[in-house]
Amino acid sequence: MLSWPLTVNRILEHAERWHGNREVISVGADGGIVRKTYAQCADRARRLSAALSDRGVRTGDRVATLAWNTGEHFEAWYAIMCIGAVCHTLNPRMDAPNLTRIAEHAGTRLLLVDPSLLPLAQAMHAACPTIEEIWVLGHSGDRTLNATDALIGEQQPAAWGGFGEEQAAGLCYTSGTAGDPKGVLYSHRANFLHTLMVIQPDVFGLRAIDTVLPIVPMFHANAWGLVFAAPAVGAKLVLPGRHLDGASLLRLIGEEKVSIAAAVPTVWQGLVDHADANGETLGPLARAVVGGAACLPSLLRRLADEHDLDVRHAWGMTEMSPLGTISAPTADTLALPEEARRAVEGAQGRPPLGVELRVETAGTPGSDAAGKLKIRGFAMIERYYGDSAPAGDDGGWFDTGDVARIDAHGFMHITDREKDVVKSGGEWISSQELEALAAEHCDVVHAAVVAADSKQWGERPLLIVQLLPGACCSDEDLLAQIAGSVPRWWLPDAVVRVDAMPLGLTGKIDKRALRDTYRDHLGSGA
């Protein structure tokens, strides 16, 4: 067969040639909508590539973006990758010292920044020796700054491609707040094949007639691949900008006729809470991709039953590009009675072709007991950026740090994060199972279970809840919701109420912060 490198420039070239008039919608800082087409975005991206080359950016150089999901970010992403440079996405919710540490570790040369984030970029520039220049995405009111609109105005479109499929395309750091920064370098080949994987019917199921809203940020593991997948099929792409509250998203979904959206559970919760409080529906939305953190069964049911959505619960990691598993019905599960079917399909699901996973249990192989979850595949990490040691074992198996079991239907259920498991008297208690049960209580908005130190047992579970405003249920009521469904010794020792759950940098409940705050909550006598 012809040698045809799987490089991501081919994705936007395909969209430009065959879906050139399909729209890319972007919400600006003022809430205004900017409309372009794939053909226009590709032209602007090619001219931005030319500007980058003129500035001396070469194959393999790291160029960072510090931006929300916008049209300019979309163009920059392709402009960088399609000339063989590496698009290093940075999370604007991090502070300048941590971002600087990451940019320095990556050896990032240029920093492309959303105008609203300029002060943060300038603080990084002042502190990071590798950053040579800042370019503002779009236009800037300040003539002393380089802005991409002005830079591309003078350029002819650059030629794309001409490098191998193993060339690095993107770089994303898993965490920048503790320990050493860990960068994941994505190859063109991995991104291309991951795109083919996620557009399949039983994965995200994207078609040319869809309108796709990646609420998950482009700096969170490639927006789960949607910024490649939408142009790959010619779907309309809606980029929501900075404001991800329920009201803003609901308006966007209605006005742009969004059919598929993807976000972490806390964002979905905000969206349905807003819709329900205002007696609104999710309008044209047909499919919800929920992932990045365990989704409570109560939220999955609300989305499916009350809002009539086809809900896909997905699990993945930055290290996996990021998709690992996704829940979609199989012939087996369709034949199950309603409740049993829900219990299976509410899990994190099954791996698509190209993802291998296994659960290492202490007991009998093949049993559905929980154990360490390990993965490998074509879009999985081999080693962290800059590390010489492989990230996985001799066979390439990468330890995810998650605990999981696989049921009789081949659906994987994440039972916990290894760090979040409560180890009481030497036995494991699943924090996620307790959270799911507590969240069934009608007054509970968010529930989190963390380990508190116990003199007698080592650790005991503590239930932390955010209740609906004005709710006055007792601790006994909340615990009664759990009792009966789990062994007695699993029952949390105490309940803590918080006004608002702390959220981490990617919008997930920050269990590390909760653990640090409440570790001593039971006192030394417990």
Residues that bind ligand AMP (CB under 6 A): 174, 221, 291-294, 313-318, 322, 348, 400-402, 414, 417, 506
User: Based on CB atoms, which residue is closest to ligand AMP, 54 or 368?
Assistant: 368
Minimum distance between the CB of residue 404 and ligand AMP, rounded to whole angstroms? Answer: 9
Minimum distance between the CB of residue 182 and ligand AMP, rounded to whole angstroms? Answer: 10
Minimum distance between the CB of residue 370 and ligand AMP, rounded to whole angstroms? Answer: 13
Measured distance between the N- and C-terminal CA atoms of the chain, rounded to whole angstroms: 68
Catalytic residue among 154, 306, 423, 427: 423
Q: Is 459 a catalytic residue?
A: no
How far is residue 433's CA from residue 216's CA, in Å, rounded to a whole number? 25
Are residues 70 and 137 in contact, defined by beta-carbon separation less than 8 angstroms? yes
| Token pair recorded at residue 150 | 């002005």
For 142, the 3-state DSSP assignment is coil
DSSP assignments along 191-253, one per residue = HHHHHHHHTSTTTT---TT-EEEE-S-TTTTGGGGHHHHHHHHT-EEEE-BT--SHHHHHHHH
Minimum distance between the CB of residue 347 and ligand AMP, rounded to whole angstroms? Answer: 9
Minimum distance between the CB of residue 5 and ligand AMP, rounded to whole angstroms? Answer: 27
How far is residue 165's CA from residue 356's CA, in Å, rounded to a whole number? 22
Are residues 92 and 64 in contact, defined by beta-carbon separation less than 8 angstroms? no
Q: Which of these, 467, 466, 463, lies nearest to 450 by C-alpha position?
A: 463
How far is residue 191's CA from residue 204's CA, in Å, rounded to a whole number? 15
Q: Is 132 a catalytic residue?
A: no
How far is residue 369's CA from residue 64's CA, in Å, rounded to a whole number? 43
User: Based on CB atoms, which residue is closest to ligand AMP, 204 or 315?
Assistant: 315
Q: Which of these, 36, 26, 429, 425, lies nearest to 238 by C-alpha position?
A: 26
Q: Is 423 a catalytic residue?
A: yes
User: Based on CB atoms, which residue is closest to ligand AMP, 246 or 349?
Assistant: 349
User: Based on CB atoms, which residue is closest to ligand AMP, 6 or 106?
Assistant: 106
How far is residue 511's CA from residue 387's CA, in Å, rounded to a whole number? 28
Catalytic residue among 281, 428, 440, 508: 428
> Kind of pairing, strands 211-214 and 260-263?
parallel
User: Based on CB atoms, which residue is closest to ligand AMP, 82 or 299?
Assistant: 299
Question: In angstroms, what is the C-alpha Rg of the chain?
Answer: 23
Catalytic residue among 72, 75, 256, 319: 319
Minimum distance between the CB of residue 263 and ligand AMP, rounded to whole angstroms? Answer: 12
For 56, the 3-state DSSP assignment is coil
Are residues 61 and 167 in contact, defined by beta-carbon separation less than 8 angstroms? no
Q: Is 319 a catalytic residue?
A: yes
Q: Which of these, 436, 438, 399, 437, lies nearest to 419 by C-alpha position?
A: 399
Catalytic residue among 37, 104, 130, 174: 174
Between helices 38-54 and 71-81, what is the axis angle to 10°? Answer: 50
User: Based on CB atoms, which residue is closest to ligand AMP, 107 or 504?
Assistant: 504
User: Based on CB atoms, which residue is closest to ligand AMP, 115 or 316?
Assistant: 316
Minimum distance between the CB of residue 156 and ligand AMP, rounded to whole angstroms? Answer: 39
User: Based on CB atoms, which residue is closest to ligand AMP, 199 or 223?
Assistant: 223
How far is residue 414's CA from residue 315's CA, in Å, rounded to a whole number? 8
How far is residue 245's CA from residue 367's CA, in Å, rounded to a whole number? 43
Contacts of 486 (CB under 8 A, 6+ apart): 433, 434, 437
Minimum distance between the CB of residue 335 and ligand AMP, rounded to whole angstroms? Answer: 25
- Catalytically annotated residues: 174, 319, 423, 428
